[in-house]
Amino acid sequence: MAFSAHASDAGDALARLSWQDFEHLLAEHYREQGYRVELVTAHDLKALAHAGLDMRLHRQSETVIVQCGHWDAIFVDLAEVQELLSTMLNEAASRGILVTRGSFTQAARNAVRRQPRVHLVDGDLLRAMLKLPDHLDTAPPGSRPAEKVARTAAAARRRSRGGRSYVIPVVMGVVIASLLGLFAWRAMSTRDGAPPPVAEAAAPPAPAPVAPAAVSPDPGALPPTTAAATTVVPERPVMTSAAARDAEAAARLAHELAERERASREEEAARNRKKTEDALKVMERNTREVGSY
Q: Which residue has the higher pLDDT, 110 or 279?
A: 110
Do the beta carbons of residue 103 and residue 126 sit within 8 Å? Answer: no
58 and 140 both lie in a single domain: yes
149 and 252 both lie in a single domain: no
Share of the chain above pLDDT 90, in %: 21
26 and 143 both lie in a single domain: yes
How many other β-carbons are positioned within 10 Å of the β-carbon of residue 160? 12
231 and 149 both lie in a single domain: no
pLDDT score, position 266: 92
151 and 34 both lie in a single domain: yes
103 lies in some domain: yes
Say how many domains are in the chain. Answer: 2
pLDDT score, position 29: 93
237 and 115 both lie in a single domain: no
Model confidence at 5, in pLDDT bands (50, 70, 90)? very low
13 lies in some domain: no
pLDDT score, position 228: 43
Alpha-helical regions (H) of the chain: 19-32, 78-91, 106-113, 123-130, 145-193, 241-292
Phi, psi of 44 (to 5 degrees): -130, 95
Each residue of 119-166: pLDDT tens digit? 999 988 988 888 877 554 444 344 444 455 455 555 555 555 555 556
164 lies in some domain: yes
Task: Give the domain range for residue 74.
Answer: 19-168
pLDDT score, position 146: 45
125 and 265 both lie in a single domain: no
What's the Cα-to-Cα distance from 22 to each of 9, 45, 152, 193, 210, rounded to whole Å? 17, 9, 13, 69, 112
Average pLDDT over residues 213-220: 49
Q: Which residue has the higher pLDDT, 80 or 167?
A: 80
Q: How far apart are CA 118 and CA 112, in angstroms?
A: 6
Among residues 109, 140, 168, the one where a domain terminates is: 168
178 lies in some domain: no
Among residues 102, 136, 168, the one where a domain terminates is: 168
Q: Output the average pLDDT for the chain.
A: 73
Name the DSSP class of 68.
-
Model confidence at 226, in pLDDT bands (50, 70, 90)? very low
Q: Which amino acid is at 172?
A: M
233 lies in some domain: yes
- CATH code (residue 92): 3.40.1350.10
Each residue of 26-83: pLDDT tens digit? 899 999 999 999 988 645 544 444 455 788 999 999 999 999 877 678 889 999 999 9
65 lies in some domain: yes
Q: Which residue has the higher pLDDT, 45 or 12?
A: 12
Among residues 125, 151, 168, the one where a domain terminates is: 168
Q: What's the half-sphere exposure (Cβ side, CA atoms, 13 Å) at 175?
A: 6
Share of the chain above pLDDT 70, in %: 61
39 and 153 both lie in a single domain: yes
164 and 23 both lie in a single domain: yes
110 and 225 both lie in a single domain: no
pLDDT score, position 199: 45
Do the beta carbons of residue 223 and residue 272 sit within 8 Å? Answer: yes
Q: How far apart are CA 252 and CA 268, in angstroms?
A: 24
209 lies in some domain: no
Q: Does residue 215 surpass a pLDDT of 50?
A: no
Q: Which residue has the higher pLDDT, 239 or 73?
A: 73
255 and 149 both lie in a single domain: no
271 and 142 both lie in a single domain: no
Q: Which residue has the higher pLDDT, 179 or 117?
A: 117
70 lies in some domain: yes
Q: Does residue 259 surpass a pLDDT of 50?
A: yes
pLDDT score, position 263: 92
pLDDT score, position 166: 60
**Which of 52-66, 75-89, 189-203, 216-230 shows the lowest mean pLDDT across its residues?**
216-230
Do the beta carbons of residue 132 and residue 4 sit within 8 Å? Answer: no
pLDDT score, position 195: 55
pLDDT score, position 201: 44
- Angle of helix 106-113 versus helix 78-91 axis, rounded to 10: 40
Q: Which amino acid is at 32?
A: E
